[in-house]
A and B are shown apart, each in its own frame.
Chain A
């Protein structure tokens, strides 16, 4: 299942995504989670909490759109593996993000391995993502995995 083409991508850049964190993006995120704390949307509430501007919830950085969507679109050698589920990961948040910031997410494939599991034979891809703002300051780092499989082989 693991091919030389898949292995050849290890250590290489998958994609770079540039996103302006605007109010609409933030509002959609907060609505989807039913998060109503005004500190995440209101300048006065943010100021009362000691923020210079409205802060962005750390969870927004972990959404797929900040990384540029599913990595499958950037990895044609795995297109035949139609099934995909999230394997989880770890994120470290270093600096606050504010509404109006531009986030540049750089995603790199750091590992590919073959496994057998509930979904049958699987490919586990591990990515590392670095998130920077418009001043090139590192906002956060993430490392997460996705599981790819061929449904017709299960």
Chain B
């Protein structure tokens, strides 16, 4: 199954439910951050805090420089998790804690590990460990998620 940029990242057979197994590392989602992307996220999210695009302001706030918006990192994880749920599934829960700041301009990677799968058919549920990894190999945002492979409506 082709895995082009922007499409579902998890290679799955025709039956999406069968493609997710405990212990499986999901194909990660690479994402390049930049000042332009920060501006796009600010417009999309409504968060115009200058610490995410104004270097001078960020330094005055005693930060190392402009930092990637934490909600953007959460959204990247949501994007990955939704792709695991598939078009007929749903994201039930998403949690994330920011362990470190990431600099705008760095390439980040959203990652997931399938910890547990239970239920069957449309009631099949997967528990995931999720994280954002930066170029230094640090897990700068860590969390978990639950996806269901069926929908109530």
* Chain A residues close to B by CB (< 8 Å): 28-29, 31-37, 39, 45, 48-50, 57-59, 62-66, 69-70, 82-93, 95-96, 119-120, 151, 154
Chain A residues near B61 (CB, 8 Å)?
82-83, 151
Question: Would A86 and B8 be within 8 Å (CB), given that A58-B94, A63-B47, A64-B47 are in contact?
Answer: no
Residue of A nearest to B93 (CB): A92
Q: Which chain B positions have C-beta within 8 A of A89?
A: 95-96
Which of B37, B60, B70, B82 sits near A59, CB closer than 8 Å? B82
Q: Is A88 a contact of B79 with CB atoms below 8 Å? A: no
Q: How far is the CB of B79 from chain A (nearest CB, A)?
A: 5
Q: In the complex, how many residue pairs between chain A and chain B have their CB atoms under 8 Å apart?
A: 132
Q: Which size class do B's interface residues fall under?
A: 35 or more
> Which of B's residues lie within 8 Å of A, judged by CB?
5-8, 31, 37, 40-41, 43-47, 49, 51, 60-63, 67, 69-72, 74-76, 78-79, 82-83, 87-88, 90-98, 101, 141, 143, 151-153
In the complex, the chain B residue whose C-beta lies closest to that of A85 is B70
Among B6, B46, B49, max chain A CB count under 10 A is at B46
Consensus secondary structure, chain A interface: mixed
Show 21 A/B contacts (Cβ-Cβ < 8 Å), sorted by A.
A29-B45, A32-B45, A32-B72, A34-B5, A34-B31, A36-B5, A37-B7, A39-B87, A50-B151, A57-B82, A62-B94, A63-B44, A64-B47, A69-B47, A70-B47, A83-B63, A84-B51, A89-B96, A90-B95, A92-B93, A151-B62
